């Protein structure tokens, strides 16, 4: 499962721009993850603060 | 709830506000949607712009400008530096803006031209009739809202969805985005006269560190690294390291993070009833990361073309072709060149970078622009730069 650490996230939207399945949405100040997430981990690499993690 | 207009612009950054202003000035009924409750905040930018190009498009208000710089200083990994003067290197920087004020100023100009600005209003999908877009569905302060309009301009930034909803794949590959972190720093060590650029694979792999002055002993100190060379949290970690080595006593007044596209021109920025501008169309300069001015330029063109398409009645992709042609000739060519430079630059080792910057040490480059400097670099380092010979003319 992809988790968003909302205490770290600075709501910049970088992760949204790289997700190949369009599974992320930046809603003003928080990130929503939809059921389309394939847990590929691409977004976790781009996050400047390390707020995203794919957890088993 | 529902409403009708001629053009919906999604996103009130510099691209969207300029598009909305141009369309409203041409007499269209325009809705400008911004999902944030405050236009321009939080900032995701280092705020450097060229004076000349900015002034060609808008009259810069004094309150938009945090600082004016004398030029740019570039540091090689070994610490060697070269200086470019403002009137030449200033094509890249010249003013350092206060974007919270600047972005709001541009949205205000759109409003004064007649656009209906709606904040805390987030587009969540395209309305479609017979498969073609005819407006957007949105959430306005938590309530659903449908806005019918023959043309949608997607100016929704790095996180753009409008293109993807319209069938244009704008997903950024990790090698085509810089992941960035920045602090607003006050420190006696800050150079508040020059924009500074620090190169090196260990301090900013596939990118660079910048320090852009914003006032007395105050600067945006940040870095971007190539997404394909990043890992979770790496941008912030590297910025911490740079701060320890360069501004150990610096005080941090603000934190900024963000993704900056460096993808080069995309295949198509139009679909039936849809135009993409600015970061949404990945129109950022891939080498410098600068995207404020290109977003504004593209926004103006899109607003003008929207007016023509509405009056001719043809809002199909074909009817919007003038936008595609004009942005490609005005900014697309430059983006393509910069993309090639970027693809080459990110491969250079620290030794290569030292050699290149070092070779300029004895040259009089203070009065040269970036192009002139590249020509000299090529003359001095033909072997290293051989791959780029077709770009150096
Ligand atoms: C760290 C960093 C440093 C940079 N430094 C510079 C620099 O020094 N100089 C420079 O020229 N450029 C710089 N850039 C690039 C520059 O910030 C962008 O290119 C520029 O902001 C693009 O403008 P825009 O209008 O296309 O998008 P943005 O300014 O990103 O505006 C997009 C707007 O759309 C809104 N939006 C998004 N989705 C929706 C939706 N669904 N509904 C409603 N609204 C929506 C967003 O909230 C946002 O306000 C930098 C970028 C970063 C990340
Ligand atoms: S990239 Fe990281 S900080 Fe930026 S919005 Fe996504 S989770 Fe938040
Ligand atoms: S893990 Fe992959 S599919 Fe899931 S949100 Fe991140 S980038 Fe998208």
Per-residue pLDDT of chain B (393 residues; tens, 9 = 90+): 899 999 999 999 999 999 999 999 999 999 999 999 999 999 999 999 999 999 999 999 999 999 999 989 999 999 999 998 766 554 556 899 999 999 999 999 999 999 999 999 999 999 999 989 999 999 999 999 999 999 999 999 999 999 999 999 999 999 999 999 999 999 999 999 999 999 999 999 999 999 999 999 999 999 999 999 999 999 999 999 999 999 999 999 999 999 999 999 999 999 999 999 999 999 999 999 999 999 999 999 999 999 999 999 999 999 999 999 999 999 999 999 999 999 999 999 999 999 999 999 888 887 777 778 888 899 999 999 988 888 876
Q: What is the DSSP letter of B171?
A: P
Residues contacting B274, CB < 8 A, separation 6+: B126, B133, B151, B152, B153, B154, B162, B163, B166, B168, B320
Q: Hey, are the CB atoms on A45 and B232 less than 8 Å from each other?
A: yes
pLDDT for B92-104, tens place per residue?
A: 568 999 999 999 9
CB contact under 8 A, B158 and A20: no
> What are the φ and ψ backbone dihedral angles of B21, each rounded to 5 degrees?
-65, -50
| B199-209: pLDDT as tens digits | 999 999 999 99
Q: How far apart are CA B175 and CA B161, in angstroms?
A: 20
Helix (H, G, I), strand (E, B) or coil at B57: helix
Query: Is A15's C-beta closer than 6 angstroms to any atom of ligand 2?
Result: yes
Where does chain A show beta strands of DSSP type E?
2-4, 24-27, 30-33, 52-54
Question: Exposed e or buried b for every residue in B173-187, given b needs 16+ CB within 10 A?
Answer: ebebbbbbbbbbbbb
Tell me if B179 and A46 make a contact (CB, 8 A cut-off): yes
The residues in A 8-37 lying below 8 A from B, measured between CB atoms, are 10-20, 22, 25-28
- Centre of ligand 1 to C-alpha B82, Å, is 30
Please tell me if residue B35 touches chain A, with a CB cutoff of 8 Å: yes
CB contact under 8 A, B235 and A48: yes
User: Which of A12, A20, A44 comes nearest B258 by C-beta?
Assistant: A12
Q: Is the CB of A42 under 6 A from ligand 3?
A: yes
**B218-226 and B95-97 strand pairing:** unpaired
Residue B358, Cβ density class (10 Å: 0-12 exposed, 13-18 middle, ≥19 buried)? middle
How many CB pairs below 8 A link A and B?
94
ipTM: 0.98
């Amino acid at each position: 499962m992809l988790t968003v650490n909302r205490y770290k996230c600075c709501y910049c939207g970088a992760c949204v721009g790289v997700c190949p399945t369009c599974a992320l949405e930046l809603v003003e100040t928080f990130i929503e993850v939809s059921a389309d997430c394939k847990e590929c981990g691409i977004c976790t690499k781009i996050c400047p603060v390390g707020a995203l993690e794919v957890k088993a | 709830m529902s409403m009708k207009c001629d053009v919906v612009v999604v996103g009130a950054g510099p691209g969207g506000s300029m598009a909305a202003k141009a369309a409203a000035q041409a007499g269209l009924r325009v809705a400008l949607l911004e999902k944030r409750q405050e236009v321009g905040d939080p900032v995701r930018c280092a705020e450097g712009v060229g004076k000349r190009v900015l002034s060609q498009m808008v009259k810069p208000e004094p309150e938009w400008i945090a600082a004016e710089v004398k030029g740019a200083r570039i540091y090689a990994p070994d610490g060697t530096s070269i200086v470019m003067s403002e009137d030449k290197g200033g094509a890249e920087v010249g003013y350092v803006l206060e974007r919270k004020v600047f972005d709001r100023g541009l949205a205000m100009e759109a409003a004064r031209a007649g656009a209906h600005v709606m904040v805390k209003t987030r587009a969540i999908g395209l309305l479609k009739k017979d498969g073609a877009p005819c407006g957007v569905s949105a959430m306005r302060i938590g309530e659903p809202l449908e806005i019918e309009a023959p043309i949608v301009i997607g100016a929704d930034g790095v996180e753009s969805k409008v293109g993807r909803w319209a069938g244009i794949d704008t997903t950024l590959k990790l090698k085509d985005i810089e992941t960035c972190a920045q602090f607003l720093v006050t420190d006696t060590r800050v150079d508040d006269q020059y924009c500074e650029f620090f190169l090196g694979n260990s301090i900013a792999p596939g990118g660079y560190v910048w320090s852009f002055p914003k006032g007395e002993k105050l600067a945006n100190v940040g870095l971007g690294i190539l997404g394909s060379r990043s890992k979770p949290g790496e941008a912030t970690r590297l910025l911490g390291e740079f701060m320890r080595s360069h501004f150990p006593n610096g005080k941090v007044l603000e934190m900024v993070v963000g993704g900056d596209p460096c993808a080069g021109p995309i295949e198509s920025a139009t679909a039936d009833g849809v135009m993409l501008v600015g970061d949404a169309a990945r129109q950022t300069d891939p080498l410098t990361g600068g995207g404020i001015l290109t977003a504004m330029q593209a926004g103006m063109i899109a607003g003008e073309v929207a007016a023509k398409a509405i009056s001719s009645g043809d809002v199909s992709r074909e009817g919007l072709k003038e936008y595609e042609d004009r942005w490609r000739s005005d900014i697309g060519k430059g983006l393509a060149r910069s993309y090639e430079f970027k693809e080459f630059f990110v491969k250079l080792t620290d030794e290569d970078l030292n050699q290149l910057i070092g070779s300029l040490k004895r040259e009089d480059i203070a009065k040269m622009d970036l192009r002139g400097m590249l020509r000299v670099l090529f003359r001095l380092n033909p072997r290293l730069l051989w791959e780029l010979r077709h770009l150096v003319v």
